[in-house]
């Protein structure tokens, strides 16, 4: 298992997400400081941005967990059944914690 490659990809994605989330955060602050008259409209934008933030945050948490698994040499092992996760799946989703079979079972 070439964890160095995945570590690089995960670290880069983490940087990208962290930057995007802090940009989102400052945009939300700006939206909140707008007058009451505009608040209803701005409020809708807020929700969309907060959803984006939620998605970004959960991806970030998954990436951090994956980086932890690299450090403790558990990367590429399904956290549910202990079977190896296919390289194909890790190439597509480097932060995957579950093998395809467990992923399917959980998302049924
Ligand atoms: Zn599994």
Spell out the per-residue pLDDT of the chain, length 108, in tens.
Answer: 789 999 999 999 999 999 999 998 888 888 777 655 555 555 567 788 888 889 999 999 999 999 999 999 999 999 999 999 999 999 999 999 999 999 999 988
How many angstroms separate the alpha carbon of residue 101 from the centre of ligand 1? Answer: 6
Looking at residue 33, its pLDDT comes to 76
How many angstroms separate the alpha carbon of residue 102 from the centre of ligand 1? Answer: 4
How many angstroms separate the alpha carbon of residue 80 from the centre of ligand 1? Answer: 5
Number of H helices, E strands in the chain: 4, 0
Could you tell me which residues are beta bridge partners of residue 84?
Answer: 77
How many angstroms separate the alpha carbon of residue 56 from the centre of ligand 1? Answer: 24
Q: From CA 2, how far away is CA 32, in angstroms rounded?
A: 45
How many angstroms separate the alpha carbon of residue 38 from the centre of ligand 1? Answer: 49
How many angstroms separate the alpha carbon of residue 66 from the centre of ligand 1? Answer: 15
How many angstroms separate the alpha carbon of residue 32 from the centre of ligand 1? Answer: 43
Looking at residue 38, its pLDDT comes to 57
Q: From CA 85, how far away is CA 92, in angstroms rounded?
A: 11
How many angstroms separate the alpha carbon of residue 37 from the centre of ligand 1? Answer: 52
């Amino acid at each position: 298992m070439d964890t160095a490659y995945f570590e690089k990809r995960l670290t880069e994605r983490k940087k990208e997400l962290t930057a995007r989330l802090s940009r989102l955060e400052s945009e939300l602050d700006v939206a909140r400081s707008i007058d009451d008259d505009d608040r209803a409209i701005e409020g809708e934008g807020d929700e969309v941005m907060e959803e984006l933030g939620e998605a970004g945050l959960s991806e970030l948490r998954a990436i951090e967990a994956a980086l932890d698994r690299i450090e403790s040499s558990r990367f590429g092992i399904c956290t549910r059944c202990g079977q190896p996760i296919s390289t194909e799946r890790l190439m597509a989703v480097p932060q995957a914690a579950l093998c395809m079979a467990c992923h399917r079972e959980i998302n049924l």
